[in-house]
Structure 1
Amino acid sequence: MLASLRRRAVDAVEIMDGPDCDPERLDRTYADFHVVNLAVSGWRSMYCRSIRPGLSTTRPSTLLDVGSGGGDVSRCLARWAARDGLRLEVTAIDPDVRAHTWASAQPPVPGLSFRRALSSELVAEGARFDFVVSNHVLHHLSAAELQGLLADSRALARRGVLHADIARGRLAYLGFSLGTWPFFRRSYIRADGLTSIRRSFTAAELRRVAPAGWTVRRAHPYRLELRWRAPRAAATATETAVGTAPDA
């Protein structure tokens, strides 16, 4: 299995992406995402470093979360901003009716709305947001879908884009396998998480497919951040908004 990590397992399919997966286990997976993402995704750090400095206590900002799944990252971002006394309206979109139904059924969070949609639909509507983000979406996409998402993201973002994902690696695979082995028995977290790692990019691979103007930052543990910043004339004056973190 580890030998397969030398190349992306682009043909591997996550169980939860199948139309006939068990609905109870799928719902449990959406619920468990909150625990996993808090432990490994690093969104608290990304919010503090790349989103919060660009927010205001008086001027409203908008953020789009693409492929939001169960909506746990969206809820965290809305709650963190509110806790900091900052004005942020978060829109979370996902084309999967199952994800949208589950996320919409959770207790409401002020400043957060869910919508079943593709990013391309919002582009066609002429929608714009200050920030566009995603979590663990890139590795799901085909080459054409990835380029489409990046083009959509640039069209939708006034200020910057931050797509966060897993970095493929042996230690990441072994660590996740061992760390989740005693847990998540009633969900697809462990099986699909391992598949996600196999499908994910390395930093070098992501740099090769990223269009001009995008930067790839490696974060720990085993994280990738794909960023784009709007031209200075269209961006806010702050130098710490989304997309300004240096490569690593």
Structure 2
Amino acid sequence: MDDPAADLAMLERTYDRFRLVNVVVSNMRAVYRRWIRPRLSPAATCRVLDIGTGAADVPRALLEWARADGVRLEVVAIDPDPRALDWALRQPAEPGLSLRRISSRELAVVGERFDVVMSNHVLHHLDGREFGELLADSERLTAEGGVAVHCDIERSRLGYAGFALGTWPFARNLLAGSYIRADGLTSIRRSHTAAELAASLPPGWRVRRGFPSRLEVIWSADAAS
């Protein structure tokens, strides 16, 4: 999917299927409950930044859960890939969702601040320099009392086998004509273990394990002050 020459029809079919697959493999509801919901209230609006939003299925889910809980949430979702953002912009408007083609560095430079800075399945796409820049930008973008939490896959044989077996029955129907299965298996191979991530983190950051085969890289503005 990172290939500029990737088939556009397959890419867009992949974006459309993300909302189904991420419900199972990303466990964003747990991220919402732990890191976002405690910061939400009916009286004040919480601002979330979703970096590398892709199809923007994650921020749409967050906003749906917040509405069901009767609390106020705004999400700014950014992605440098025009193919993903163009597709996301063609979908029905979502109240509280702002889609922008801008980098985290550009947002930090203009002084934007958010209660939660997050990403999903971004870390394994980054080289060492890009990884360090993302964490530095996240610190600058996180408001006082806020948190940065970057979620990704944990590389393991069990996780690889589970995804391979779990998606195999759908390879010729629900996932046909998309990059979901092939890209997912590649992503697991490219992802990190908890120990690898912990060894690469600057001071103030920590790794937390989640389910299923999930890692959360976390930084708290309060802890750093």
TM over 0.5: same fold? Answer: yes
Shift in Å at residue 20 of structure 1? Answer: 1.0
- Residue number among 143, 154, 162 corresponding to 2:149 in the alignment: 162
Among 205, 227, 239, the alignment partner of 2:196 is 205
Structure 1 CA distance for aligned equivalents of residues 110 and 6 of structure 2: 33
- 1:232 deviates by 5.6
Counterpart of 1:241? none
| 2:129 counterpart (136, 144, 167) | 144
Secondary structure of 1:191's partner?
A: helix
In the alignment, is the contact (CA less than 8 A) between 1:58 and 1:87 conserved in 2? Answer: yes
More helix by share: 2
Q: d(CA) in 2 for partners of 1:78 and 1:222?
A: 25
Quick one: which of 196, 201, 207 aligns to 2:187?
Answer: 196
CA-based RMSD of the aligned residues comes to 1.2
Q: Secondary structure at the match of 2:83?
A: helix
Q: Is the CA contact (8 Å cut-off) linking 1:207 and 1:215 kept in structure 2?
A: yes
Q: Does 1:219 align with 2:191?
A: no
* Residue segments in structure 2 that go unaligned for 5+ positions in a row: none
Any idea what SS the aligned residue of 1:79 has?
helix
The one-letter code of the counterpart of 1:103 is A
1:22: which partner in 2?
A: 7
Structure number with higher relative contact order (C-alpha < 8 Å, ≥ 6 residues apart): 1
TM-score of the superposed pair, with normalisation by structure 1: 0.86
Aligned ranges 1:70-81 → 2 under 5 Å: 70-81=55-66
Aligned to 1:40: 25
5+ residue gaps, structure 1: 1-15, 235-248
Residue identity matched to 1:26: L
Structure 2 Cα separation of the partners of residues 18 and 182 of structure 1: 26
Provide runs of 4+ in structure 1 moved above 6 Å.
Answer: none
Structure 1 residue 130 displacement after superposition: 1.0
Matched residue of 1:231: which SS? Answer: helix
Q: Deviations over 1:13-60 (max 9, x none)?
A: xxx111111111100000111111101111101111221011111011
Q: Percent identity?
A: 57
CA distance in 2, matches of 1:26, 1:55: 34
| 1:170-204 deviations in Å (ceiling 9; x for gaps) | 01111111111122121000000000000000000
Q: Contact 2:204 / 2:224 at 8 angstroms: preserved in 1? A: no
Normalization by structure 2: what TM-score? 0.95
